[in-house]
A and B are shown apart, each in its own frame.
Chain A
Amino acid sequence: MSDQTHPYAIELEGISKRFGAVQANKDIGLQVPAGTIHGIIGENGAGKSTLMSIIYGFYEADSGTISIDGQQVDIRNSQDAIKVGIGMVHQHFMLVENFTVLENVILGAEGGAVLNQGISAARKELKRLEQEYSLDIDVDAVVEDLPVGLQQRVEILKALYRGAKILILDEPTGVLTPQEADHLFRILKSLTEQGVTVLLITHKLREILASTDNVSVMRQGEMVAHRETATTDKEELAELMVGKKVRLKVNKDEAQPQQAVLTAKELSFFDGQGVERLKKVSLELKAGEILGIAGVSGNGQSELLNVLSGITPMASGEIQFAGQTITANAAKTAAQMRDLKMAHVPEDRHKMGLVTGFEAYEAAVLGYHDSSDYNGAILMDRKAMLDECNERMAAWDVRPPNPHLKTANFSGGNQQKIVIAREVEQNPEVLLIGQPTRGVDIGAIENIHEQIVKLRDAGKAILLVSVELDEIMALSDRIIVMFDGAIVGQVDASEADERTLGLMMANAWNEEQGAQE
């Protein structure tokens, strides 16, 4: 590092930001040494995203200063951020799917009205970047044909192409397999060797410990601690995040599986484009057990949940449930499945589980709105709905306990509690539950896990879909792994380890077994 380079690539002082009554960031200070990976960890709603949005110019801070390489800068929008060398890789990729890698990279930096010149210049520059940072990618590939790991690399390339010296990654591993995540961290490491500074936002302790040089912990809008990663551990970070000792393991007794309550035989499903998303999936779900379905998202788990719950009709196959045989020709709707006492917590609460424009008490009856519990002869029984909502909010510790608040205005964890409470309180025989704790903070995760185990212990059958291996391993009694629409492996939870499951999820398990023989 040369002498004139300031020791801190980025330095924040006294950053505060308030949204109405909510103090999202309070007097934040942060110093990130150049050429390091700096982790920022915190629960959902701790203010990480707000802070990053301020650095990247999406929001303006109410007070405080940002300095880049010792120079105080004024960042009012993302153009300003790019100018001072800040690049951001969003959780959800901002790529044009049917453009090539090259076209995506130069988007917004085309360099003139005539494309040809810009493109050939960009091609040269990209070659250089690829070599310099050893980012291996075919610049002429169409983005939608690339696996997510590579798409993310395109995002990184995009930032570097714009001259980013500080790279912010927001929850970058959410969509990656453990192997892909490891690869990402190797790339980040090599970036720092070239002088790039990386800010890594995540709520996964494992990743912080595995990849960062320093870590800062946020809680309730405040920066509560800075640590050198080498001097801290999982337990300390978790404690700093939530402010109390947390249990990372789920306390549960041995499962007592009973008779099968739901049997699926050779379920197939094709999407609108005619792609086979479910390939003859068969499984048996027993009362009193939690069957976990592991897999990288997009490998048929969502389709499986939708077919089982009656949201989308199957193409072929058969489901035995509650004394009924359900086939493509004798289909049941989502409402009918509910009547047979199947509850479903969908993977995506915003898209499916809630109507964010509804007040909480309205969202709390979604799917059960026809029930006589909530209806008079003509009008809906608003009082009954409100009373019940109040009760549940108290029982499930939903905050704030205001049934009239729009669901959009609850935090992720509280939204999820509203959905899970709605489904669990129906006392279902089978609970399908997708990503129960995605975007939910640790305190709430614990509570949700407890409730799921309680339901199992009451002799109900639970099908758990999660992309979090920790969660699958902590909760499940039996684990099935899905890859490309098919079941590629099944293990007993007691025998499962992360590496085996990770390999199965990448469909590399069988190959590796073969290689060893």
Chain B
Amino acid sequence: MNQAKVPAWVSVGLIPLLNILLAFLVSGLVFLAIGEDPIEAAGYLIYGAFGYDEGIGYTLYYATNLIFTGLAVSIAFKAGLFNIGGEGQAYIGGLGVGLLCLWFDSSLPLIVIAPLAIIGGALFGAAWAYIPAYLQARRGSHIVITTIMFNFIASSLMVYLMVNWLKAEGVMSPISRTFEESAWLPYMHDLFSPFGLDIGDSPLNMAFILALLCCVLYWGLVWHTRWGYQLRTVGTNPTAAKYAGIDNAKVTIWVMLISGGFAGLVGVNEIMGVNHNLLLNFTAGYGFAGIAVALMGRNHPVGIILAAMLFGALYQGGAELAFEIPTITPEIVVVIQGLVILFSGALENMFKGKIEGFFLRRAAA
């Protein structure tokens, strides 16, 4: 039986939009419950995220991390693998970036360090994903379990390394020495200022461009190479993949390496672009938020960019909101994010049937 068509703008535009609106509506009720005006709060949130140059810069800076982790979750998902380990892979990726910067910052120019650190971050992230991938492909250990566990291992490992090996001399907290400026990824506002453009001081840096390039890379890899073909076959029909002579185990390992690589690039943005030293907890949950981003972005790079911007806006707008209205704590912002994830992820199909039915009937009439 032929499947009738629902217009594309409905499934990729209208339905996600409705889900988000509903999430905001329920968030509004939460605000009412704690005695704040939801309209006013929404105003602060939107103004904070998009209302002025620095705000936009921050939004895009957060989005950069989310694009990396979103791509990481998404590409693994294309092969039917649920990589929950983006957090740990990003953490270890950052370690790789940091180590390279610490080693070479006084001996090499930025033009050499930057690609080195990018490759290093990706390789470290990939290596961290390799172990769960190997265990899944060759030993049958479930990748969800192993990647989750590896988040904890990564976290402990970083504490150990920071405290015992990498801590700068004479400081009381576990952070490394600050890199020489030759290992700082240029800020966007520094790049724009020679042209007389003032985009405000924000942490937004060159890593954003890298994230966009990764989206293009993802698109090419997945839809235009034979490797992507194998990947999608394994992900949608493993039996057909076997029939086609595709080595499922090999694909599993490869895709996890790439997934870990994408996640590892968070380190480029955070360590090389913003903090300029190695420190603890710079991943701040981006690895997990990446799952929601991939889900909302429907495993397509364009969708992932949009979803990452939305979440970036929530991070940034939420910070503004908590600042402007003291009774609203940062936790409330987490509630909004949770609602967005709930409605656009978990309850994704709540309206789907009804709306699609409506358009099908209309198309039929």
Contact = CB atoms under 8 A, between A and B. Distances in A.
Nearest to A45: B1
A120 B71 CA distance: 57
Contacts of B247: 333
Interface residues of A, number: 44
Contacts of B225: 378-380
A338 B2 contact: no
Contacts of A67: none
A172 interface: no
B229 A362 contact: yes
Interface string B1-40: 1111100000000000000000000000000000000000
A50 B1 contact: yes
B15 to A, nearest CB: 18
Contact of B226 (A354, A375, A409): A375
A337 B244 CA distance: 10
B238 to A, nearest CB: 10
Contacts of B3: 19-20, 406, 408-409
B4 A355 contact: no
A398 to B, nearest CB: 14
A277 B206 CA distance: 59
Which of B220, B236, B242, B243 has the largest number of chain A CB atoms within 10 A?
A: B243
A351 interface: yes
B191 interface: no
Given A20-B2, A310-B245, A351 B224 contact: no
B240 A366 contact: yes
Contacts of B364: 18-20, 62
Contact of A334 (B1, B229, B230, B242): B242
A357 interface: yes
A507 B335 CA distance: 66
Contact of A354 (B1, B224, B240): B240
Contact of B245 (A333, A351, A354): A333
Contact of A351 (B2, B239, B246, B360): B239
Interface string B247-287: 10000000000000000000000000000000000000000
Nearest to B234: A355
Contacts of B232: 355, 357-358
A301 B5 CA distance: 38
B245 A380 contact: no
B233 A355 contact: yes
Interface string A29-57: 00000000000000001000110000000
A120 B355 CA distance: 46
Interface string B324-365: 000000000000000000000000000000000000100110
B237 interface: yes
B4 A352 contact: no
A367 B240 CA distance: 9
B184 to A, nearest CB: 33
A344 B243 contact: yes
A379 B364 CA distance: 40
Contacts of A21: 2, 4, 363
B240 A352 contact: yes
Contact of B1 (A24, A335, A355): A24
Given A20-B364, A24-B1, A367 B226 contact: no
B254 to A, nearest CB: 15
Contact of B220 (A338, A362, A379, A406): A379
Given A335-B245, A375-B226, A380-B224, A353 B1 contact: no
A19 B226 contact: no
A369 B233 CA distance: 11
A394 interface: no
A103 B33 CA distance: 50
A356 interface: yes
Given A352-B239, A356-B237, A382-B224, A367 B1 contact: no
A44 to B, nearest CB: 10
A87 interface: no
A344 B242 CA distance: 12
A343 to B, nearest CB: 12
Contact of A367 (B4, B224, B236, B243): B243
A369 B226 contact: yes
Given A310-B245, A336-B245, A358-B232, A19 B240 contact: no
Given A351-B237, A351-B239, A366 B244 contact: yes
Contacts of A140: none
B245 A355 contact: no
Contacts of B226: 369-370, 374-375, 380
A353 B243 contact: yes
A346 interface: yes
A335 B247 CA distance: 9
Given A19-B1, A367-B245, A382-B224, A355 B230 contact: no
B4 A334 contact: no
A314 to B, nearest CB: 15
Contacts of B233: 355, 358, 366
Nearest to B363: A20
B236 A409 contact: no
A115 interface: no
A408 B239 CA distance: 16
A129 B164 CA distance: 78
Contacts of B363: 20-21
Which of B225, B226, B246, B364 has the largest number of chain A CB atoms within 10 A?
A: B226
Nearest to A344: B243
Contacts of B4: 19-22
A375 B224 CA distance: 10
Which of B5, B232, B364 has the largest number of chain A CB atoms within 10 A?
A: B364
A419 B173 CA distance: 64
A306 to B, nearest CB: 9
A19 B1 CA distance: 9
A321 to B, nearest CB: 15
A428 to B, nearest CB: 14
Given A22-B2, A366-B233, A370-B226, 10 more contacts: A333-B245, A334-B245, A344-B243, A351-B237, A352-B237, A358-B233, A367-B243, A409-B3, A411-B1, A411-B2
Which 3 A-B residue pairs are closest in the complex by CB-CB distance?
A20-B4, A335-B245, A334-B245
18 contacts: A18-B364, A19-B1, A19-B2, A20-B5, A21-B363, A344-B243, A351-B240, A355-B236, A357-B232, A366-B244, A367-B243, A367-B245, A369-B229, A379-B225, A380-B226, A380-B229, A409-B2, A409-B3
